[in-house]
A and B are shown apart, each in its own frame.
Chain A
Amino acid sequence: MPEPLDSELKRHLAPVHAPDELWERVCERRAPRRREIYVPLWAAAAVLLSLGGGSLAAWRGTREVQIKPAAEYSSRNLRKADDCVLCHTI
């Protein structure tokens, strides 16, 4: 390592004093902001999930109500051989 380069590196990489405002910046960020952000996020996610689950259950309930009479009607008719022309004429 040549001497001039070594001395230049020592000069340019010498320690420096930290700015005074560093402590203020550290203190500003020490407040637990993350928790404040994440609590509403979790609450919103929980509300969305419960709303989604509720609406899905409601939709399935109405669908069953609509499908059930139709299914009952077709099964009742199929039991009668006369009505099922296609099957019973073969």
Chain B
Amino acid sequence: MSGGALDPTTAPKFQVAAKALLGDSQLRKNVRHATNVIQTKRARVVGEMPDWQELREAGKQIRRHTMRHLDFYLEEFERNCTAAGGVVHWARDAEEARQIVVGLVKASGANGQSPTEVIKIKSMTTEEIQLNKALEAAGVHAYETDLAELIIQLGHDQPSHIVVPALHKNRSQIREIFRREMNLPELGGTPQDLADAARRFLREKFLRVKTAVSGANFLVAETGGVCIVESEGNGRMCLTLPETLILVAGIDKVVPTFQDLEVLLQLLPRSATGERMNPYNSIWTGVDKVSPGGDGPRAFHVVLMDNARSEILADEESRQTLHCIRCGACQNACPVYQQTGGHAYGSVYAGPIGAILTPQLMEMHHAQSLPYASSLCGACYEVCPVKINIPEVLIHLRNKVVKQQSSGLNILANPEVMALKAVAMVFRSEGVFRVSQELGRLAELPLSRKDAQGVGWIDWLPGMLGGWTQVRDLRVMPKQTFRQWFEERSKAAPGRRAGDAPEKESGNGH
């Protein structure tokens, strides 16, 4: 799927988008292949760590401690970053962040000339706020320099994964995009050919464009430093070659001390790409004031963006969402994501983390179908390097959605709410439950058909329940319920104790 930006305010419901994507066999093959490759690599490098569970716990504690004292660490970061020559800006929401960045870009030109181009490092935070669109509207073209982001940009596509944004494309599709967009009709199809084409295309931008925009993996409060990890080195070119560097980060990206990176930089690469260490780890602080003609940007700005993160922090049960270090392991492990790919989630944050983060970033006004885009299988929780209990947060958010749907007159428009409330009534009383079972037997009679073994099966159910029978049959209720069998059995042989082998199946009692 390509085309419009992934915008949770306008995206179709997950179910609707998923249905369309499930028909794309090429996409499903690509997603399955890529997630399997990464998962296998991850399992190998995680398996070799004897203290992986302790590391996960340490990661969780670092993130939890930081979120408990977020105000303190953010201000500490601001002080230290400023002292090192950086300029810190605060953005309440996406709109403010866009305005600040556009303003800084405009002001960054030499000789009063405002630039018409910037280069960018892969940054999900700038995707979240649709920064490229805002820059374009202000007459500034942003070149994505991360290889996968470049593929997405040239293919007029959208990212489908937080670490591997072009995961849904295979090599021959990428070749077609490069041939068309870079005007290279003779381009070969080997990885070397494609890397070479991207390198030539990007190298020219690195040398020409003087303003860069980046995200961040971590902000270090203790030093005012910033950490970015990547695989290609393109990010480092963006960080070091331009004269102005504008960094946009969510306020959740801060960590207290430099030493905390010891834990997080072990957890992140192993979880994200199945590598022991990222090929490029850039950690720097402010600007070089000692040798003004030296390396790195002359001007360094950090935009600290809230954009609903404070709201998430205020919710005791779901604030662990902010512990996320954006490794994408939950996406690779998720059996739902593996079927649909990322675009079904209608957000740059897809998969299990997207299913909890996106609706909260929207303050529950949009993306309410996402908390339901999970079978609650728990594979995400199992691989999360900072132990975010994603299923628990999903359930918490479902509760919020149900509260919205059950308020006032909404309830009448929603058969599911009515049905589940009715079933809850039935479960509350044994008498009502027994009567309902009998009524159920009557109700299923006209739908039931006997198979060759004389067992009744239902192959069509009305309304919402039709989702079940579209691919599954449903066996009718047994003639005798377990409850009835249990009661009769105790009457027939009062001396027997629970735990004896049941007679029903064995046929020859004791």
The answer to whether A and B interact is no
B residues near A (Cβ < 8 Å) are none
A contact residues vs B (CB 8 Å cutoff): none
